Amino acid sequence: MSNQKYRRTNFEEEDSSRVELPSPSTNFDPMVGFQQYKLNFWRRRSTLEKVLALLLLLSLLIIAILAVVIHLKSHTKSPGPEGIESTSTCLKKSCITAASSILNSIDEKVDPCNDFYEFACGTWMKSNPIPNGHAEWDTFTILKEENNNILKRYLEAPLNESYSESQTKLKKFYMSCMDPKEEIEKIGSKPVVYMMQKMGGWSVSDIAGKWNESDWDFMRSTELAMDNGIPIFFSLSVSEDEKDSNKNILRVEQQGFNINRDFYLNKSIDNDKLMSAYLKYMTSLSVLMGGEENETRELMRELLLFEMDLAEITTPYEERRDDEKMYNKQNITYLQEIAPFINWLDYINGRFSKVNITINESEPIIVPYPEYFVKLNTLINNTLHKENGKRMLQNYIVWNVMEFYSQYLNKPFRKVRKDFRDVLTGVVGEREKWRNCVYESESIMGFVLSTQYIQEEFNEGSRTSAVEMVKYIRKAFIDNLPNLAWMDEATRKAAIDKAEAVVEKIGFPEFVLNTTELDIKYAELDIHEDQYFLNCYKTLINGMNTGLAKLRKDNDKMSWSMTPQTVNAYYTPNKNEIVFPAGILQLPFYHKDYPKSLNFGAMGVIMGHELTHGFDDQGRRYDKTGIMRMWWNEKIIELFQERTQCLVDQYSNYSINGDNLKGKMTLGENIADNGGLKSAYYAYEQYIADRTNIDPQLPGVPYNSKQLFFISFAQVWCANSNAADVKNSIMIDTHSPPRFRVIGSVTNFPEFAKQFNCPAGSPMNPLKKCEVW
Which active-site residues does the annotation give? 610, 673
| Class of residue 56 by CB neighbours under 10 A (exposed 0-12, middle 13-18, buried 19+) | exposed
**Do 598 and 610 touch, CB atoms closer than 8 A?**
no
The count of residues in the chain is 773
Rounded Cα distance between 219 and 675, Å, is 48
CB 558 within 8 A of CB 439: no
Separation between Cα atoms, residue 257 and residue 254, nearest integer Å: 10
CA–CA dist 686, 680 (Å, integer): 10
Helices 293-313 and 370-384, packing angle to 10 deg: 150
The answer to whether 114 touches 763, Cβ cutoff 8 Å, is yes
Bridge partners of 571, per DSSP, are 578
| Buried/exposed code over 489-510 (b: 16+ C-beta within 10 A; e: otherwise) | eebeebbbebbeebebbbbbbe
Query: Are the beta carbons of 507 and 466 closer than 8 angstroms?
Result: yes
The H or E element spanning position 223 is helix 218-227
DSSP run (H or E) holding 304 = helix 293-313
List of long-range contacts for 541-550, beta carbons under 8 Å, 24+ apart: 541/228, 541/229, 543/444, 544/229, 545/354, 545/355, 547/237, 547/238, 548/237, 548/238, 548/351, 548/352, 548/354, 548/355, 548/357, 549/238, 549/355, 549/357, 550/238, 550/248
Find the helix or strand (DSSP H, E) in which 280 lies.
helix 273-288
Q: What is the distance between the alpha carbons of residues 369 and 373, in angstroms, rounded to a whole number?
A: 7
- Cα dihedral value 507, 511, 515, 521, nearest 10: -120
Amino acid, single-letter form, for residue 417: R
Residue 216 gets the label, from left (phi > 0), alpha (psi -120 to 50) or beta, of beta
CA atoms within 13 A on the CB side of 216: 25
- In the chain, the N- to C-terminal Cα span, in Å, equals 30
**H-type alpha helices, 369-459:** 370-384, 389-405, 411-425, 433-457
CA 352 to each of CA 47, 365, 419, 700: distance values in angstroms, whole numbers, following the listed order: 100, 14, 38, 65
Alpha-carbon distances of 515 from 161, 299, 441, 518, 560, rounded to whole Å? 14, 51, 17, 5, 17
Concatenated DSSP letters of 60-93: HHHHHHHHHHHHHHHTSPP--TT----S-B--SH
- Sequence-separated (6 or more) residues with CB below 8 Å from residue 221: 199, 200, 393, 394, 397, 398
Please provide the DSSP assignment of 106-117 as one string.
Answer: --TTS-TTT-HH
